[in-house]
Amino acid sequence: MPQSQTIEKPLVRAESPRANALGSGDVSGNWTVPQVEALFALPFTELLYRAQEVHRTHFPEGDVELATLLSIKTGGCPEDCGYCPQAARYNTDVKANKLMDLDEVLDAAKAAKAAGSNRFCMGAAWREPKDRDIEKVAAMIRGVKALGLETCATLGMLEPLQAKALQAAGLDFYNHNLDTSEDFYRSVINTRDYQDRLDTISHVRAAGMSVCCGGIVGMGESRVQRAAFIARLANLSPYPESVPINHLVPVAGTPLADQPPMDPLEFVRTIAVARITMPKARVRLSAGRQELGRAVQAMCFQAGANSIFYGEQLLTTGNPEAEEDLALLAELGLKTKQSMKAEVTV
């Protein structure tokens, strides 16, 4: 391993005529895999220092966004994603349920708001929604939006008109992940192409919504494949506004159940590299925080993470208790986006 690396790309890159939706001064589309690998290979403290510099430049207020997840339609999914407890073909403890009723969803959104959440993300275990599903989810979006929360949904692949209908209902963000690098993808998923994912993301953009797109690390990919995955996200034009980085939660019954855990410092490096390559994105610590523990999460915030999934349940797996998260943020002296908003209003 080299002692030091020369990164030819400047950290704060030159202003480009191709200003993106995130504002001018950041360009998408120029990261090569070797450049991203060179970031990964920096001495650890140097990488964190650079990530923190980028973070402070673009998020001087340093707040942390809280996003709450709700599984509005659980299990029974026809896809074969090797990490997923909701795929019908794997023998997991997840029971398939039908789409939740509007009232139940709104009750959950009210509770999320009362607990201090900024964003409410509705997830459905579908390959793609049917048009009649879109109508039902649109009613949920309208209701959640009326509560004053940011709205997000993750419902699988979308056609352009479906994306437009969700946008018209008030959907702010659509989550659809690339999940990993293109060359590792087939080791994990075979029922959907990488290009299908890119197409859905472009339909979401064309409909005028913000993109939430990230993936999972710790599935057995190599560092170069992780670098290729981050480069792919950063080279989306524009890059996503939200970047969820999930740490694989190995679930019994799935093909990845016995995957050995990834080195936690490599996870921190991944967060830092995402921060440097996507300077204005909200980089979200997503699945796997229970396994990471407090010290590693603290390093992730130092590396530029500024969003978490908040609430004791992700979709089907556990997440830290809300009180535990608020205590950790308080101990680290990190304000939540919501508390900063409240200070301004007072």
Q: Which of 39, 54, 90, 123 binds ligand SAM (CB under 6 A)?
A: 123
Q: Is 215 in the site for ligand SAM (CB under 6 A)?
A: yes
What residues make contact with ligand SF4 under the rule CB under 6 A?
77, 79, 81, 84, 86-87, 125, 127, 156
From ligand DTB, ligand SAM, ligand SF4, none, which one binds at residue 316 (CB under 5 to 8 Å depending on kind)? ligand DTB
CB 150 → ligand SAM: shortest distance, Å?
A: 18
CB 110 → ligand SAM: shortest distance, Å?
A: 23
Q: Which of 152, 205, 232, 275 is catalytic?
A: 152
Quote the tokens at residue 329. 């943020």
Show Cβ contacts of residue 102 under 8 Å, excluding neighbours closer than 6 positions: 136, 139, 140, 143
Q: Is 255 in the site for ligand DTB (CB under 6 A)?
A: no
Q: Is 212 in the site for ligand SAM (CB under 6 A)?
A: no
Q: Candidates 9-17, 106-114, 224-232, 247-255 — which segment interacts with ligand SAM by CB under 6 A?
A: 247-255
Q: Which residue, 40 or 126, has its beta carbon nearer to ligand SAM?
A: 126
Instruction: Judge whether 81 counts as a catalytic residue.
Output: yes
Q: Is 180 in the site for ligand SAM (CB under 6 A)?
A: no
**Of 120, 126, 200, the residue nearest 163 (C-alpha):** 200
CB 1 → ligand SF4: shortest distance, Å?
A: 35
From ligand SAM, ligand DTB, ligand SF4, none, which one binds at residue 87 (CB under 5 to 8 Å depending on kind)? ligand SF4
Q: Which of 119, 282, 284, 289 is catalytic?
A: 284
Q: Which residue, 42 or 216, has its beta carbon nearer to ligand SAM?
A: 216
Q: Is 156 in the site for ligand DTB (CB under 6 A)?
A: no
CB 337 → ligand SAM: shortest distance, Å?
A: 22
Quote the tokens at residue 260. 């050995």
**Rounded to an integer, what distance in angstroms lies between the CA atom of residue 41 and that of residue 19?**
29
Site string for ligand DTB, 70-109 (x = CB under 6 A): ---------------x------------------------
Instruction: Judge whether 213 counts as a catalytic residue.
Output: no
CB 75 → ligand DTB: shortest distance, Å?
A: 9
Q: Which residues are catalytic?
A: 77, 81, 84, 121, 152, 212, 284
Residue ranges in contact with ligand DTB by CB under 6 A: 69, 85, 123, 154, 175, 177, 214, 244, 246, 249, 286-287, 314-317
